[in-house]
Structure 1
Amino acid sequence: MATETSALTGLEPRAFWAHFEALTRIARPSRGEEPAIEHVRRWADERGLGVRQDEGRNVVIDVPATPGREDAPTVTLQGHLDIVCERDPASPNDPAEGRIALVRDGDWLTADGTTLGADDGVAIAAMMALVEDESLAHGPLALLMTVAEEVGLEGANALDPSLVTGSILLNLDSEEDGKLTVGCAGSTDTWIRIDAPREPAVEGAVPLVVTVRGGQGGHSGMGIGLGRSNAVKVLGRALREASGTVRFGLVSFQGGKSRNAIPRDAVAICSVASDDEQAFRAAVSASAEAIRDAFAKTDPGVSIAVDTADAPAAPWSAEATARLLDAIALVPTGPLALSPDFDDLVETSTSLGEALTEGDRLTLHSLSRSSNDSALPEVISTLDAVARLAGGELEVKVNYGGWRPDMDSPTLAAARATFERLFGDPPVVTAVHAGLETAVIGSKVHGLDMLSFGPQIEFPHSPDERVSIPTVERFWRLLVALVDELSRPG
């Protein structure tokens, strides 16, 4: 186990935080989790615990019951090994290389310039700490650690259902203290691909780079209703508005790094006639002022800058430039419908997460979500219409359906009673506008009684990610007590 650092000194439970810190030193990007897999396998081997792994690289560690609890039902504790590896460009740290520098800010733990990895390091650390504590009573446990959750729940989709042998599953990937989650949104990825002709730059054209940065970003599901700026949409708007007064050719357009994170940065290179350079700069500046005002309350740090670029490749034609900017403008982003079942919960949304230029092609990658499976076809139809109008094509990948709540769940009843006994107040029972692996696992292993909970994690999928230290202790107490309750005889 890692040596406790100053950021973690005195924090309880100590074993949990030691395991959490150890994970910050291990590279675990989506699809690159092998160092993390080796870490947990080695830990299991040292304790004589059985390890099973499927072809999708998901890992199950089998933990025998404590004395007297052998006949209890097997409880599967589940979380994912991978994390979103976002970083500020100037940061020397990089989660993708196992460099996360912990920073304690009062009651919060965050990281210096990168994502923290609390999503979902808290699950892995909690499982390991619980098993190590011989004073904690529990029935048979299965620690299910999945991979590639952050890129469309790939690990869960590839899960061999024979790995799950119990009838109860506790997912430890929720991010709201005091809430028991019983449902989640399904999701679909789409790619609009537009091929457009280029033409030689006008003689004496000036290459200019337009950069959007400073937005807060965040989770494109949980944070979609917060009014944050989307850097891809902001850049598209600024350029499209500028094109109304100044003719220019778009050379490239790039933005976003993670499909399920709201883009914080985007950059475009434009070819502008030298006589029009000042007018172009003025037009972008005017648009930037209006955009800053639009996000003055919800994302005040967003900024747009114009600088001279190196000599670029030939720009798209004027017609193609207009068509590409129209497509970016038409792609919807944000909440589309609210849940009729839970107050203030988004039911359906879509987020333009990535823009990529490759040769003559612009690709726009969106992630659409809904807890109402019947609502997503309309969203996909809209995106298909955008692709057709822009002369492009749409690729659709349906990831998983929604997880429908079961309010009569015995595990939910046990969790409610345990929560109230521990904390004196009843928990909030809710659903989330994000993907949880329970949706996929439940579709593969029929009859599973499932529940999800966790500590308070804010701004996941961004360098502002932070976890509330006091709620980690509450999460730990609930997990320990619920595992005990679910294994009590009679």
Structure 2
Amino acid sequence: MGAVETTALTGLEPRSFWAHFEALTRIPRPSRQEEPVIEHVRAWAAEHGFELHQDAGRNLVLRVPATSGRESAPTVSLQGHLDMVCERDPSSPNDPAEGRIVLVRDGDWLKADGTTLGADDGVAIAAMMALAEDESLPHGPLELLMTVAEEVGLEGANAFDGSLVEGRILVNLDSEEDGKLTVGCAGSTDTWIRIEAPREAPGAGAATLAVTVSGGLGGHSGMNIEYGRSNAVKVLGRALREAHATVPFRLVSLDGGKSRNAIPRDATAVVSVGADREAELRAAIETAAATIRDAFSKTDAGVDVTVDSAETAAEPWTEAATTTLLDAVALVPTGPLALSPDFDDLVETSTSLGEAITESDRLTLHSLSRSSNDAALPEVIGALDAAARLAGGELEVKYNYGGWRPNLQSPALATLRASYERLFGEEPIVTAVHAGLETAVIGDKVPGLDMISFGPQIEAPHSPDERVSIPTVERFWRLLVAFVDELSKPVKEA
């Protein structure tokens, strides 16, 4: 790779890592559309003579020979995903989905101008590439496992051909908390409540309004679910339902959220109301908005509800249908539901309403439910099914993967802990995460894998506020280099 060019990265170490990371910011890599970044990796592998395999799910496995003297060491698989969540502020000219990420350095943090940064999981891909091409860093045989479509239900990992993995140690580089070694994660299930409801022509002279929720922090629906942040779809549903109780109106559409695993930051509904009651409805929505702002004053103070005039060619749902749809949004649970009995302050079970979609006469409510306790999810799915049936709708369920159960006796964990303590003079925190890691799926496909996950400090992933801590990237890199060195040392050096 050439030298780092972006001013925001000038002087940062390790230079090779940041050069690869910068290159990734210029490549469109939304989930299910990873071909440009796959070709980028292909060209890099060919340049360095690394053997490359691609399975039917489009996942890549690259084989990197051991450095001199380490040929007999066990093969280690380094793993991360190629895709990223492509979120942007509506006013931003930048767009990750088109390869336009502008890097901004803010003290010890690196972020993007108005978009997601892609540190999740560009960090893993950049680290693999930088390590593999540096012949001065000792390691045994390496496998670089780069998956696709991680952000849409671990689709790449679910389609992965486990026979491509030769190693029995898997190092996932998709964790987001410095100083923590991850040994477990939550499983997840997607659900879709679909409600078909009748429409009819609006009353003569009816006014059409757009009610919009914006300004929320959003974030990862697993890692950030315990922070009490607003969910724009739920906030919108609440404001409308409370206003509807005093000023009847008819719903035309309700849409919000852009990603199944991101807490929705924006949502908009179009409503039809008698012209003689427009001012009254605006006032009722503002009354509800004031209560909502107060509810989130400490956890998400920026959330707001606004009303503007709108135009629409669509007929509104009937009065009865409007009541049913707003009740359904209210019934869908969102937030933490249980805490882990194994780790302090860790959410065990949660659910998040990630998307609301209006299509013709149908409203779809798409939720992502998570738990590290597989036996807890049926109760959550039961509540969603009850909400669908009460609204006269149907529930579709897609089981994604089970949880990754911790193994605190893992030899890889023992080696990583020792490397961490030697480097940083302190003990790491061993924990699990309330999010999906591909280890859960890959571990099922390759029985007997000894798995571990770690990474630098990444905050607000899946939102335009995403940022990565620059000093912790260097710590992450030093730990990775030391870990693969230690794993490959001949016995006489141990």
What displacement does 1:374 show? Answer: 0.2
1:251 and 1:312 in contact (8 A); partners too: no
Cross-structure match for 2:160: 159
* Runs of 5+ unmatched residues, structure 2: none
2:308 corresponds to 1:307: yes
| Separation in 1, partners of 2:490, 2:159 | 35
Aligned to 1:455: 456
Structure 2 residue 397 is matched with structure 1 residue 396: yes
1:134: Cα distance to partner? 1.3
Give, in whole Å, the separation in 1 of the partners of 2:410 and 2:483.
14
Deviation at 1:311, TM superposition (A): 3.3
Q: Is residue 368 of structure 2 the alignment partner of residue 367 of structure 1?
A: yes
Percent identical: 78
Which residue matches 1:54?
55
- Cα shift at 1:163: 1.2
CA distance in 1, matches of 2:265, 2:315: 27
CA drift of 1:345 comes to: 0.3
SS of equivalent residue, structure 1 residue 483: helix
State the alpha-carbon separation in 2 of the partners of residues 467 and 247 from structure 1.
47
CA deviation map 1:109-146 (0-9, x unaligned): 00000000000000000001111211100000000000
Q: Which moved more, 1:78-87 or 1:304-313?
A: 304-313
TM-score for both structures, normalised by structure 2: 0.99
3-state SS of 1:197 partner: coil
Alignment map for 1:103-114 (pairs within 5 Å): 103-114=104-115
- The CA distance in 2 between the partners of 1:57 and 1:408, in whole Å, is 34
Corresponding position of 1:289? 290
Question: 2-side partners of 1:4 and 1:144: how far apart?
Answer: 28
Partner of 1:479 in structure 2?
Answer: 480
Aligned counterpart, 1:405: 406
Matched with 1:141 is 142
In 2, the alpha carbon distance for the partners of 1:312 and 1:289 equals: 31
Shift of 1:4: 2.1
Q: Distance in 2 between matches of 1:313 and 1:125?
A: 48
Between the aligned partners of 1:310 and 1:32, the Cα distance in structure 2 is: 34
Distance 2:163 2:98 in 1: 33
One-letter code of the match for 2:171? L
Q: Tell me the residue number matched to 2:44.
A: 43
Once superposed, what is the RMSD of the aligned Cα atoms? 0.6
Report Cα offsets for 1:158-208 as digits up to 9, x if no partner.
000111110000000000000000000000000000000011101100010
Q: Given that residues 147 and 154 in structure 1 are in contact (C-alpha distance below 8 angstroms), is that contact kept between their aligned partners in structure 2?
A: yes
Distance 1:445 1:131 in 2: 23
Which residue number corresponds to residue 446 of structure 1? Answer: 447
1:185 aligned onto 2:186? yes
What do the CA deviations read for 1:57-77 (whole angstroms, capped 9, x no partner)? 000110000111111110000
Aligned residue for 1:225, secondary structure, equals helix
Counterpart residue identity of residue 151, structure 2: E
**Hey, what does 2:170 align to over in structure 1?**
169
Where does residue 465 of structure 1 map in the other structure? 466
Distance 1:247 1:303 in 2: 22
Take 1:198 and 1:160, find their aligned partners in 2: how far apart are those partners?
47
> Residues 302-341 of structure 1, C-alpha deviation per residue, up to 9 Å, x if partnerless?
1111000013311000000000000000000000000000
Q: Give the TM-score normalised by structure 1.
A: 1.00
C-alpha deviation, 1:415, in angstroms: 0.4
Amino acid at match of 1:486: L
Amino acid at match of 1:118: A
SS of structure 2 residue aligned to 1:116: coil
What stretches of structure 1 of length at least 5 have no aligned partner? none
- In 1, distance between residues paired with 2:357 and 2:132? 44
Match of 2:356 in 1: 355
1:333-348 alignment runs, 5 A limit: 333-348=334-349
Tell me the equivalent position of 1:249: 250
**Equivalent position amino acid for 2:136 in 1:** S
Contact 1:207–1:312, Cα closer than 8 Å, also in 2: no
Q: Does 2:205 correspond to 1:204?
A: yes
Deviates more, 1:427-436 or 1:132-141: 132-141
